[in-house]
Chains A and B, each alone.
Chain A
Amino acid sequence: MTAADIAVGKEAEDRIAVASNWKLVWWRFRRHHLAMASAVLLIFMYTIVLVPDFFSTQDPERTDARQAFIPVQTVHLFDDGALSPWVPAIAGKRNPTTLRMEWTTDPKKKVPITFFGTGYKWKVFGLFETNRHLIVPVDPNQRIFLLGSDRLGRDQWSRIMHGTQTSMTVGLVAVALSVILGVVLGGISGYVGGKTDSFIQRLIELLQSVPTIPIWLALSAALPRDWTPTQIFFAITVILSLVGWTTLGREVRGRFLALREEDFVLAARLAGCSRMRIILRHMVPTFLSHIIATSSLAIPVMIINETSLSFLGLGIRPPAISWGVLLQEAQNIQTLALAPWLLIPGLVVIVAVLAFNLVGDGLRDAADPYSH
C-alpha cells in the first residue's frame, strides 16, 4: 500500500466521521441499485398521480359499445426508418357462429400518432384548462387503444392512468393516517406509561387479532349507498388505516421505552429541556429514518388491500376508477380468454408493489445497517 492510498482512506474516514445521519442513509441507499431504479419508477408513477389526464389518450369514461374488446395497439416509433410514430389500425369482423365482433390489428394500415398533441379538454389541478396530452392520434376523430378496450369500449390505457391516481393516493393517505395514529398513540403509550400504556396496548392487541378482510368488507358494506366517490374514498382509507397503525404504534412505543433510559435523554432533562423538546429534538430524530422505512413498506400492503376490496366490489366503487375496479372487468374467465389484456391493471399493481417493497427494503437497510 502506498502513502497515497492511505491518504485516500484517511480522507474517506474523515468524510464519514462528519457526515450527518441523513447523508449516511442516502449514501447507503444509493448503493442499492434496484432500490434506486424502483424509486425513479415510483416518482414517475406519482407524476401520473398528479396529472393523469395528461398521460391519457382519451376520456376514461368514453364508452362505445361498437368498440368493445379491442386488442392492444402497440406503439411503433419509426416508419420506414424515419421518426414518425404510429399504431397499427384495427379491423373488425363479426364471427358468423358466435355473432361476436372479432378484432385483429392490421400492421399494414397505420394510424399516425403524435406526442404532446391536443385532445380532450382537462384541468391542471382543477385550476386552468388545457388540451395537451402525452400521446394522441393525429386525427382527432380516431380513437387509439394502447392497452385495448373493455366490454363497454372504454380505453384501458386512460383508465389505468386514472386508476393509478386513486390507488396510489389511497396507499399514501392510508399510510399517512396510520403513521399519525401510530406515532401519536405509540408515543403517548411509550412516554406516559402506566394505565394509559396498558390501555393502548390492549387496544392494539384487540385490533391486531381482528380478521382483517372480513371486517373491512363488513365496514365498507355498511357505508351509506348515497355517498359520493370522494366520501367513499376517504372512508376506505380510514378503514384500511384502522388496523394499519397498530404495527407502527408498537414499534414507536418500543423505541420510546428504550430511549427513555438512554443517557442522552437524561442529559437533556438535566439541562432543563422541556418534555416536548426532549421528544421532538432528541428522541424522534433517532428513529425517524426507521419510521420512514417502515411506512414505505406499509404502502404496498395498503395498495394490495384496496385492490382486493375493490375487486370484490366492496371498496372503491364505480364510477370512481382504481386498479381494483379495473380488475373487476377481468372476473369472468370467458371474458378473460377473449380479452387477456384486461389483466394488465394487475401487472401494474404487481410492479408498483414490487417497487415499493424494494425501495422500502433499501431504505430500511440504509437506515438501520446493523439490524440485519
Chain B
Amino acid sequence: MNAIEPLLSVRDLRVSFALDEGLVRAVDGTSFDVMPGQVLGVVGESGCGKSVTMRAILQLIDRPGRITNGEIRFRRDDGVVDLARLEPRSAAMRDIRGAEIALIPQEPMAAFSPVHTVGDQIVEAILLHSHRWQPGKRMGRSEARDITVGLFRDVGISMPEQRIDAYSWQLSGGLRQRAMIAMALSCKPRLLIADEPTTAIDVTTQAQVLALLRDLQERYNTAIIFITHDLGVIAQMASYVVVMYLGRVMEEGPVDDIFHAPKHPYTKALLRSIPSLYGQTRVALPVISGALPHPFNRPPGCPFHPRCPDAMPRCSDAVPKLMPVPPNQFASCFLHHEEVDPA
C-alpha cells in the first residue's frame, strides 16, 4: 500500500435538507482528502457547512437532511469503504463510528448525559468496540474501567479514579473537554473529528486543550480534522487548510501558503479581518462586506460573488471548479482559471 494514499477522501459531497420552506443545500459539492496522521483544518463562517460535512462522514445527518450525492472513501485495514453508501444505522457503519472515526463535539457540557457518570459513558464506548483493545476476547467492565482511568491520566485529568465517577456538570469546562477527548480516543481511532472543540471554553483552558490535542496527535499519530472559525487556532494546529463557504470549498493548501499567499478573494477577506498586534491604531478593522445569504436564497454562480470585491460578470453565471493554482494551492475562482464546475 502506498504511503501517500489518503485515509479519507471526500468527493463532490452534497447534503440537502428538505424543509417546509424549501430545499436547503447545506453542502454543495465539497471535495477534500485527509492523509494518515495529518491535521487538516477546516475554516469558514458559521453556517458554511463545516459541521454538516463532518456529520455526513459519520452518517449522523438527522432527518430531514440527506446525503444526495458524492463519495466518502475511507481506508480501513481490509480495503476502502464508501461511507456515503452505508446505511446510517447499519452494523458496518456502527463498527466505524467511535472505533475508527471518533468525534469531539462542540459543547462538552451538553455532549455528556447529565444523569450518567462520565466514566460510565466512556466505559460503554470501550465495551462497544472492545476488540480494538483485546481482539477476539470479551472484555469485562472492570478492565474497561482500568482503561478509562489510564485514558484520563493520558489526557491530564488529575485524580482520575475519583473523577471517573463524577457527573459532567460536576467538572469544570476544561476537564469536561479533556474527558470528551478521552472518550474520543478510547477506541484508538484512526481519524478524529474535532468540531470546534475549544469554542465553548475560556481562552487559557483553550490553549491547554490545543496543546493536549497536538501532543496526543504526535503520540498516537491519529489524523485529525479540526473544524473552527478561528484562524488563529488553525495556524497553531493544522498542516493543511480547507476554506469553506456556503457548502463549497473555496480554497485549500498547506497552512503557510494559505496564510502568506492566499489566492481566493474570500480567504484574503477572512485573513484581513484578523486583528493584528502590529496594525495601525484607530483604523477600522476590515470586514467582509454584506451578510451571509439566507439559506433559501443561495446566489447563482459562485456563492461568494455578491460579497466579492473582485467579482466579474461571469461569476454570477457559472460555478468555478476547484483547480490547482501554483505554487501549492487549489482554488475555485475565475481569477485563477477558467474551469467551470458542471454540476
Which positions in A face B, CB cutoff 8 Å? 1-3, 6, 9-10, 13
- How many B residues touch the partner, as a band? under 10
Smallest CB gap from A13: residue in B: B294
Candidates A1, A10, A13; contact of B298 at CB < 8 Å: A1
Is A9 a contact partner of B294 (Cβ separation < 8 A)? Answer: yes
Q: Which residues of B contact A2 (CB under 8 A)?
A: 300
Smallest CB gap from B296: residue in A: A9
Q: Which residues of A contact B280 (CB under 8 A)?
A: none
Q: Which residues of A contact B298 (CB under 8 A)?
A: 1
Is A1 a contact partner of B300 (Cβ separation < 8 A)? Answer: yes
Question: For the complex, what is the distance from the CA of A2 to the CA of B299, rounded to whole Å?
Answer: 9
A363 to chain B, nearest CB (A): 20
Q: Which residues of A contact B296 (CB under 8 A)?
A: 9
8 of the cross-chain contacts (CB-CB < 8 Å) are A1-B298, A1-B300, A2-B300, A3-B300, A6-B297, A9-B297, A10-B297, A13-B294
Q: Which residues of B contact A10 (CB under 8 A)?
A: 297
Question: For the complex, what is the distance from the CA of A263 to the CA of B297, rounded to whole Å?
Answer: 33
Which positions in B face A, CB cutoff 8 Å? 294, 296-300
Q: Which residues of A contact B299 (CB under 8 A)?
A: 6
Question: For the complex, what is the distance from the CA of A228 to the CA of B299, rounded to whole Å?
Answer: 72
Q: Which residues of B contact A9 (CB under 8 A)?
A: 294, 296-297
Q: Which residues of B contact A6 (CB under 8 A)?
A: 297, 299
Question: For the complex, what is the distance from the CA of A209 to the CA of B296, rounded to whole Å?
Answer: 50
Q: Which residues of B contact A13 (CB under 8 A)?
A: 294, 297
A33 to chain B, nearest CB (A): 14
Q: Which residues of B contact A1 (CB under 8 A)?
A: 297-298, 300
Smallest CB gap from A31: residue in B: B20
A279 to chain B, nearest CB (A): 35
Question: For the complex, what is the distance from the CA of A10 to the CA of B300, rounded to whole Å?
Answer: 15
Smallest CB gap from A5: residue in B: B297
Q: Which 8 A-B pairs have the closest CB atoms?
A: A9-B297, A6-B297, A9-B296, A1-B300, A13-B294, A1-B298, A10-B297, A9-B294
Question: For the complex, what is the distance from the CA of A266 to the CA of B297, rounded to whole Å?
Answer: 37
Smallest CB gap from B293: residue in A: A6
Question: For the complex, what is the distance from the CA of A13 to the CA of B291, rounded to whole Å?
Answer: 14
A8 to chain B, nearest CB (A): 10
B242 to chain A, nearest CB (A): 26
Q: Which residues of A contact B294 (CB under 8 A)?
A: 9, 13
Smallest CB gap from B316: residue in A: A3
Smallest CB gap from B22: residue in A: A9
Smallest CB gap from A2: residue in B: B300
A287 to chain B, nearest CB (A): 27
Question: For the complex, what is the distance from the CA of A9 to the CA of B294, rounded to whole Å?
Answer: 9
Smallest CB gap from A3: residue in B: B300
A9 to chain B, nearest CB (A): 5
Extra A-B contacts (11), CB below 8 Å, given A1-B298, A9-B296:
A1-B297, A1-B300, A2-B300, A3-B300, A6-B297, A6-B299, A9-B294, A9-B297, A10-B297, A13-B294, A13-B297
A152 to chain B, nearest CB (A): 55
Question: For the complex, what is the distance from the CA of A13 to the CA of B299, rounded to whole Å?
Answer: 15
The listed residue with most A CB atoms (<10 A of its CB), out of B296, B298, B299, is B296
B237 to chain A, nearest CB (A): 35
B20 to chain A, nearest CB (A): 9
Smallest CB gap from B294: residue in A: A13
The listed residue with most A CB atoms (<10 A of its CB), out of B296, B297, B298, B300, is B297
Question: For the complex, what is the distance from the CA of A1 to the CA of B28, rounded to whole Å?
Answer: 14
Question: For the complex, what is the distance from the CA of A10 to the CA of B297, rounded to whole Å?
Answer: 8
Question: For the complex, what is the distance from the CA of A6 to the CA of B303, rounded to whole Å?
Answer: 14
Smallest CB gap from A6: residue in B: B297
Smallest CB gap from A9: residue in B: B297
Smallest CB gap from A8: residue in B: B297
Question: For the complex, what is the distance from the CA of A3 to the CA of B300, rounded to whole Å?
Answer: 8
Smallest CB gap from B297: residue in A: A9
Q: Which residues of A contact B300 (CB under 8 A)?
A: 1-3
Question: For the complex, what is the distance from the CA of A3 to the CA of B298, rounded to whole Å?
Answer: 10
Question: For the complex, what is the distance from the CA of A6 to the CA of B300, rounded to whole Å?
Answer: 10
B22 to chain A, nearest CB (A): 8
Question: For the complex, what is the distance from the CA of A9 to the CA of B300, rounded to whole Å?
Answer: 14
Question: For the complex, what is the distance from the CA of A148 to the CA of B141, rounded to whole Å?
Answer: 72
Question: For the complex, what is the distance from the CA of A9 to the CA of B299, rounded to whole Å?
Answer: 12
A197 to chain B, nearest CB (A): 28
